Amino acid sequence: MELLKRAGEFHGDICGGIVMGTKLAIYGMETMGMTPGEKDKRLIVFTEIDRCISDAILSVTRTSLGKKSLKPMGYGKFAATFVNIDTGEAIRVIDLGANKKDMEEEEDETVEELIERIAKTPAEDLFEIQKVSVKIDKNDLPGKPLEIATCANCGEVVMDGKHHLLGGRAYCTSCFSGSYYKILDE
Ligand SMILES: [Zn+2]
Ligand SMILES: [Zn+2]
């Protein structure tokens, strides 16, 4: 309950996604032999969706973008993968309810009712766990930066091996393969 409250505070409110994400993250960490709500240096989490559920996963697992322990994958799927970087053990946890095509029966449920129902339901009935293996590039692991380059075109610094080599020179992704932004003329 404390973890749910904390996730709600982080997210802004306790919505359905926060309820499910909190339970999912607790289940994931416990299955990995870790303590939910506590930072664990061995843990890297891949979240697959940019929605409420991922805020709860972030809050419960204490992972962060800045520590390189949280990897948002943007797959648009209700699942997250927990990796122990010491042992290589990894599990992908899938929210079964969010994957049901027929969600009508729960449509009228209030958040309070949802919290109660989820608290009473065993995690095994709500989520599926897949044992997986995840290859993580050494540049994507937490710790000191291994590779730093400067883009030969725009002159900006590119960290963590994210540069592209062409004709022996380093380029940033924007200059190499196009960017998500377009610079406007002043
Ligand atoms: Zn929400
Ligand atoms: Zn560049």
Residue 121 belongs to some domain of the structure:
yes
| Cα of 148 from ligand 1 centre, angstroms | 37
Q: What is the DSSP string of 53-76?
A: HHHHHHHHHT--TTTT-EEE----
pLDDT in tens, 35-82: 999 999 999 999 999 999 999 999 999 999 999 999 999 999 999 999
Residues 131 and 171 in one domain: no
Residues 114 and 153 in one domain: no
The predicted pLDDT at position 105 comes to 59
108, two tokens? 């009228």
The pair phi, psi for residue 16, each rounded to 5°, is -60, -40
- Residues with pLDDT less than 50, the chain: none
15, two tokens? 């919505």
Residue 125: closest CA among 97, 99, 155? 97
SS3 46: strand
| Cα of 53 from ligand 1 centre, angstroms | 7
The predicted pLDDT at position 185 comes to 86
The predicted pLDDT at position 106 comes to 64
Ligand nearest to the CA of 8: 1
| Cα of 173 from ligand 2 centre, angstroms | 7
Residues 89 and 108 in one domain: yes
Residue 80 belongs to some domain of the structure:
yes
The predicted pLDDT at position 100 comes to 86
Residue 185 belongs to some domain of the structure:
no
Residues 129 and 94 in one domain: yes
Q: Residue 62 burial (CB < 10 Å; 0-12/13-18/19+)?
A: buried
Residues 131 and 149 in one domain: no
Residues 96 and 165 in one domain: no
Q: What's the gap between Cα 184 and its chain centre?
A: 32
Which CATH number is 90's domain given?
A: 3.30.1330.130
Residue 183 belongs to some domain of the structure:
no
| Enclosing domain of residue 11 | 2-136
| Cα of 47 from ligand 2 centre, angstroms | 28
Ligand nearest to the CA of 158: 2
The predicted pLDDT at position 83 comes to 98
The predicted pLDDT at position 102 comes to 66
| Cα of 134 from ligand 1 centre, angstroms | 28
The predicted pLDDT at position 49 comes to 97
Residue 186 belongs to some domain of the structure:
no
Residue 46 belongs to some domain of the structure:
yes
Q: Distance between CA 157 and CA 179 in Å, rounded?
A: 16
How many folded domains does the chain comprise? 2
Residues 152 and 101 in one domain: no
| Cα of 68 from ligand 1 centre, angstroms | 24
Residues 115 and 162 in one domain: no
Residue 50 belongs to some domain of the structure:
yes
From the CB of residue 57, how many other CB atoms can be counted at a distance below 10 Å?
30
| Cα of 151 from ligand 2 centre, angstroms | 5
Residues 31 and 100 in one domain: yes
Residues 157 and 173 in one domain: yes
Which uninterrupted H or E stretch holds 176? helix 173-177
| Cα of 174 from ligand 2 centre, angstroms | 6
| Cα of 5 from ligand 1 centre, angstroms | 13
Ligand nearest to the CA of 51: 1
Residue 94: closest CA among 75, 117, 70? 75
Which CATH number is 152's domain given?
A: 3.30.60
| Cα of 165 from ligand 2 centre, angstroms | 12
| Cα of 163 from ligand 1 centre, angstroms | 35
Residues 96 and 157 in one domain: no
Residues 95 and 156 in one domain: no
Residue 182 belongs to some domain of the structure:
no
Could you tell me the sign of the dihedral formed by the alpha carbons of 112, 30, 67, 53, in that order? negative
